[in-house]
Chain A
Amino acid sequence: MEKKNTVNFDNSAGTHPKPESVRQAVAYAMRELGGNPGRGGHQLSMAAAERIYAVRKSAAEFFGAEIENAAFTPNCTYALNMAIKGLMQFGGHIIISGWEHNSASRPVYALTRNNGVKCSVCEIYPDDVQRTIEGIRRLIRRDTLCVCCMAASNVTGRIMPYREIGELCRQRGIAFVCDCAQAAGVLPVSIKDGISFICTSGQKGLYGPTGTGLLISSGEFALSTIIEGGTGATSGELTQTPHMPEKLESGTLNTAGLIGLGAGIDFVKKHGIGNIRRHEQSLCKMFEDGLKKLGAEVYDIGCDRVPIVAFNLKGRTSEETASALNKGGFALRGGMHCAALAHESLGTGRRGAVRFSPSAFNSAGQVSKLLRYIGNSLTDFTPDQ
């Protein structure tokens, strides 16, 4: 009963509820699309393959890519691992931002330990794009193969200068791997922004089911594979098929999840990225204003952000606050958000932060209730009436 009444403000981890169209699409796939797509010539397999192709086409269009350059992955972490290790597994130099999620920083760290890769960490200056770009430019070496920077922080929502980084990488012939997990669905990220590899999850701003992700390529850089296996093509040969996207899709696809992802992308297209972001930003503004009145510490104020508010309440750890909010029926995430580098950059390495992230389905009334709960139960402050 308590779970049923919980309001989800942790949509950066996964949007919930999902659109009705997504729920119906998943149910349809479970009921009707039981064939293994790309693994046979019979009607069941071909029917599933045709629907998967339609989702691939929709995803490719959404990110400005060619259909064959849209590969499905189980999540964003897999996509990032495939891109980073696919580029760097034979050595070289990589530049990553000091805000990366563990899904990027850990594979890079593993490559430095095991594959002789050299890594530099670049600063992101919130109010000075030029300084940020100059800093990256100075870090580029003769053996630099890749820059890896997220489009928006999963901790504070800070939008990174990904277009400018893309332009720099394009000028220097370096691959740009961009973690778009928090940006997809609220920012119009595109391969045309100079991004070589867009990595994203399906279950966040794209409103798809968990267990879905995308690795979208510009087609300019070939990736070595880190997983090989059955692809439904050239099965008589021991070498992995060289053709995208199957090259990166060994093993059976998550048909039901991907059909749901397709419906989620359609939902975002129908409502519009701009409209969804405006709605969520208005809720963030309301929440942020309310928090300030309650004396909370809010991070990255003034930065251009995707709809996320990171904060802490006085005298409480982030985990304590999140736990207390959960008891009140509000799902927010405390702690480190799998982003140790970002918390270090933010100065919240010890305490972490509480993250508020609304979706298209949250309302101003829900935000008011949350603020009232915080004011009445979690602060010594007397809120303005």
Chain B
Amino acid sequence: MEKTIITMSSITYAMKAKEYLNSMGYRCDVERTRKNIGSGCGYSIIIRVHPDLVTPLLDRAGIPYKGIYRL
């Protein structure tokens, strides 16, 4: 299954996004942003659904993210 990686501006927002999406029924994890997609250090959430399903939820919750990558 395809993976979506959403890069976050901080580990706090990554944890907050994980908690929120988990509460909405989307299982996801926090991991260190992979070197090939991020600039410098940072954290991402990794989730096995299409980004169109979850980014509107993050927008509505006011949780900012930096980028969306599909693997």
- Chain A: residues with CB nearer than 8 A to chain B? 37-41, 46, 49-50, 53, 56, 67-68, 231-237, 241, 243-246
Chain A nearest Cβ from B57, distance in angstroms? 17
Q: Are A246 and B40 in contact (CB under 8 A)?
A: no
The DSSP consensus for interface residues of chain A is: loop
Q: Which of A68, A235, A236, A237 is within 8 Å of B12, CB to CB?
A: A68
Interchain CA distance A46-B43 in the complex, whole Å: 11
Q: Does B11 contact A (CB under 8 A)?
A: yes
Which A residues lie within 8 Å of B55 (CB)?
A: none
- Check if B16 sits within 8 Å of A246, measured CB to CB: no
Contact with A along B3-21 (1 / 0, CB 8 A): 0000001111101100000
By beta carbon, the residue of chain B nearest A49 is B11
| Interface residue B32 (Cβ < 8 Å from any Cβ of A) | yes
B32 touches A233 (CB 8 A): no
Question: How far is B10's CA from A235's CA once the two chains are assembled, in angstroms?
Answer: 11
A235 to B35, CA, bound (A): 12
Chain A residues in 8 Å Cβ range of B40: 233-237
Are B10 and A241 in contact, CB atoms less than 8 angstroms apart? yes
Whether A233 lies near B39 (C-beta < 8 A) is no
Separation of A37 and B43 alpha carbons in the complex (Å): 12
A46–B32 Cα gap in the complex (Å)? 9
What are the residues of chain A within 8 A of B15 when measuring CB–CB?
A: 49-50, 53
Q: Is the CB of A38 within 8 A of B16?
A: no
Residues of chain B at the chain A interface (Cβ within 8 Å): 9-13, 15-16, 30-32, 39-43, 64
A41-B32, A67-B16 as given contacts; A232 in contact with B11, CB under 8 Å: yes
Task: Find chain A residues with CB under 8 A from B41 CB.
Answer: 39, 232-236
CB-CB < 8 A to A67: which residues of B?
12, 16
Docked CA distance A39–B42 (Å)? 9
A and B contact pairs by CB, cutoff 8 A, 17 listed: A38-B10, A38-B11, A46-B30, A49-B15, A53-B11, A53-B15, A67-B16, A68-B13, A233-B42, A234-B9, A234-B39, A235-B40, A235-B42, A237-B40, A243-B13, A246-B11, A246-B12
Is the CB–CB distance between A246 and B10 below 8 Å?
Answer: yes
CB-based closest 3 A-B pairs: A41-B32, A236-B40, A235-B40
A243 in complex: contacting residue of B10, B30, B32, B39, CB < 8 Å: B10
With A41-B31, A234-B39 as known contacts, state yes or no: A241 contacts B9, CB within 8 Å: yes
A96 to B: closest C-beta gap in Å: 31
Residue pair B32, A56 in contact (C-beta under 8 Å): no
B66–chain A nearest beta-carbon distance, Å = 9
Q: How far is the CA of A46 from the CA of B11 in the complex (A)?
A: 10
Known contacts A235-B41, A236-B39; is A68 also within 8 Å of B16 by CB? Answer: yes
A56 to B43, CA, bound (A): 18
A41, A53, A233: the one contacting B9 at CB < 8 Å is: A233
A263 to B32, CA, bound (A): 28
Q: Please, which residues of chain B bring their CB within 8 A of the CB of A236?
A: 39-41
- Provide the residues of chain A in CB contact with B12, threshold 8 Å: 53, 56, 67-68, 243-246
| A235 vs B16: C-alpha distance when bound (angstroms) | 21
Known: A41-B31, A49-B11. A233 touches B43 (CB 8 A): yes
Distance to closest chain B CB from A63 (angstroms): 16
Most chain A CB within a 10 A radius of its CB, from B12, B15, B30, B43 = B12
- Taking CB atoms, residues of chain A closer than 8 Å to B42 are 232-235
Give A45's nearest chain B residue, CB to CB: B32
User: Closest CB-CB distance, B10 to chain A, in whole Å?
Assistant: 5
Give the docked Cα–Cα distance between A236 and B11 (Å): 16
A232 to B32, CA, bound (A): 10
Q: Which of B9, B11, B15, B64 has the largest number of chain A CB atoms within 10 A?
A: B11
Contacts of A237 in B (CB 8 A): 39-40
> Which of B10, B13, B39 counts the most chain A CB atoms within 10 A?
B10
Chain B residue, CB-CB nearest to A37: B11
A38 to B31: give the CA distance in the assembly, Å. Answer: 11
Bound CA–CA A241/B12 (angstroms): 13
Complex Cα spacing A40 to B64, Å: 21
